[in-house]
Structures are given as C-alpha cells and as structure tokens.
Amino acid sequence: MSITLQDLVGDTEEFFHDHWGKQPAVFRASADLTGLITEEEMWQEVDCGLLIRPYFTSFDEGVRSAISEMTTSRTIVGHTVPGYINPEQIKADFAAGGTFKFSQPEHWHPRLRSLVAALEPHFRAELESFVFLSPPGKTAIAAHMDGSHVLVLQVAGVKDWVVGRLDESTTSDSDRYAGGVIPYDRRMEVTLRPGDVLYMPHGTPHSATARIGNSIHIAVTIEEPTTRELANVFLAELLDRPEYRELTENHHQLTPADRIARLRALVAQTLRAADADQVLKQAVRIKAEHRG
C-alpha cells in the first residue's frame, strides 16, 4: 500500500493551514518508512552497474566526486556510451566518508514511484525524490537552501539536523547559506530517527550530520511554479489568441498609442479569462518537461 501524505504529517488540512510555507516542523509517520528502500537495495543497484548519470552522484563535505572517476563507459550494440556508474569508485568514496545519492529514483524504483504518485495530488507542484546514504560522523553538505519545499523521511540510522527558521531575510534561492553557520537565535536542532519526517518550507537553510549507523533519508522536493513560469503560461495564451494575431498583422495601421491601448485591453481580457487551476497545471507540466 502506498504511503500517503496523511501517513507522513497527520491531518493534511492542519498541515497546510499551520505549517505549509511558514516554518519547519517535525512529524512522526504513522506508516513504516523503513521498507521504502534499504541500504542493501542501494548497493545492489550499484553492483548491477546499469545506473547512468544523472541518476546518481557521490560527494563529500559538499564537494562532488569527479564525474570521470565515478562513471565508466559501456559498449552497447557496438556503441560506446559514457556515464554509467563505476561501482568500485562509489564504494571507495563511501568508505572514505562520502555520501552516495540516488536522484529521481521514482523513475525506476517501484516503491518510491508509488510514494511520489501518492503525494502528487496534494500539491500544485513538481515532485521529485532523492535518496541519501551517509556514513556516521559526516556532514554531507554545509548549510544551504533548496529552491523548493522539502519533506525529509528518515528511513535508517540517526541524523542530526540544524534547520533555520524563516524570517524577513529569507530568500528562495537554491544556494549555500551566507556565512555558513545558521545563527543560534533562528535555528532549530532536531534528531531524526527511522519514521521521523521533517518538513522544510521553500528557502529553509539547513545542514545534517549522520550520527548512529549509516543514515538513509529520502528527500521529496515540492517545487511550485515561479512567478516567471506562471507569466510565461499567460503569455503563451495571449500569443495564441486570434485577437492578438489580428493585432500583429494590422499593427502598422495603428498609432503606437493605439497599439498600446489595444494590447493592454487584450492582456486584461486574457488574464480575466484564464482558469487559475489550468494555469498552474500547465506551468507544472512545462517545468517537468524542461527538467526532463
């Protein structure tokens, strides 16, 4: 059975009313998260050798391993294809303290595909999943922000998180946190154990350190359309209107002032006629197509 948003955060109406887009929060899942993916499965995928970039990466203290080292080429139907996983290097990086990550495993992993599919109806956004396997005692990435909302599902091991609270200085950039250290007066420190869920709003600064055993957590990113992406949908609708095409064909017969007046009226009509739900759906679809 698929794990639902209610299984992760409890009452969904309360979640969206009290937490969504406001401040980070920790929940205890009512479902068993440990069966979503195991370390054994991850190493089996590595040993199989069929993973190809960008579906995996390895990094240590925020520095990604060289692609030339963690990948190898394979000969397929007489053609040399680069970018396949190099199991020996990935294992060596992990043994040296590096973190191993699956990117978008919902594309091939059935249980994670079901997880993402069950969560999608609750959001007007693009959802992707990432799985992080980290050895104890390592901070994989220094404090940084993600360009999306994030649900963190702790699957195995214990991980300490330092999470910044949002304030007027918060930005929505996906970048390193300025200064590197989240101030003590605007942070929360939490320890996640298997079954714990951490929600972080868009732009929340955070860092995490594995503590006991090899840690596995799944990060489900929830990326809503940006203002620019929504504007592009409106623009596409405007350019597709017959009135706009007519104005374009006959604009030379109008004075600049008349062109502006006609175009302003047409833009206003397009905005009034637009269905907000359809605009959001279209923006999410375009975002996913461009990402793919």
Class of residue 23 by CB neighbours under 10 A (exposed 0-12, middle 13-18, buried 19+): middle
Residue 152 confidence (pLDDT): 98
Residue ranges of domains in the chain, CATH in brackets: 5-223 (2.60.120.650), 227-291 (no CATH)
* Confidence (pLDDT) at 221: 95
Asked if 10 and 30 touch (Cβ cutoff 8 Å), the reply is yes
Provide the pLDDT confidence category of residue 46 given band limits of 50, 70 and 90: very high
DSSP for the chain reads: -PPPHHHHHS-HHHHHHHTTTT--EEEE-SS--TTS--HHHHHHHHHH---BTTSEEEEETTEEPPHHHHEEEEEETTEEEEEEE-HHHHHHHHHTT-EEEEESGGGT-HHHHHHHHHHGGG-SSEEEEEEEEE-TT-BSS-SB--SSEEEEEEEEEEEEEEEEPP-TT-----SBPTTSS--GGGEEEEEE-TTEEEEE-TT--EEEEEEEEEEEEEEEEEEPPPHHHHHHHHHHHHHHSHHHHHHHHHGGGS-HHHHHHHHHHHHHHHHHH--HHHHHHHHHHHHHHHH-
Decide if pLDDT at 140 tops 70: yes
β-sheet bridge partners, residue 222: 127, 149
Highest mean pLDDT among 149-158, 176-185, 229-238, 258-267: 149-158
Give the largest Cα separation in the chain, rounded: 75
CA separation (Å) from 192 to 9, 21, 199, 233? Answer: 14, 21, 12, 40
What's the mean per-residue pLDDT of the chain? Answer: 89
What is the distance between the alpha carbons of residues 198 and 155, in angstroms, rounded to a whole number?
A: 12
> For 157-186, what is each residue's pLDDT tens digit?
999 999 988 876 666 655 556 557 888 888
Bridge partners (DSSP) listed for residue 219: 130, 152
Picking from 121, 104, 122, the residue whose alpha carbon sits closest to that of residue 113 is: 104
- What's the pLDDT tens digit per position in 79-115? 999 999 999 999 999 999 999 999 999 999 999 999 9
User: Could you count the other beta carbons within 10 Å of the beta carbon of residue 60?
Assistant: 19
pLDDT of residue 208: 93
Mean pLDDT within 213-232:
89
Task: Summarize pLDDT for 3-14 with one digit per residue, the tens.
Answer: 999 999 999 999
- Using left for φ > 0, alpha for ψ between -120 and 50, and beta otherwise, residue 48 falls in alpha
- Residues of the chain above pLDDT 90, percent: 57
Other Cβ atoms within 10 Å of 106 Cβ, number: 19
Indicate whether 243 pLDDT > 60.
Answer: yes
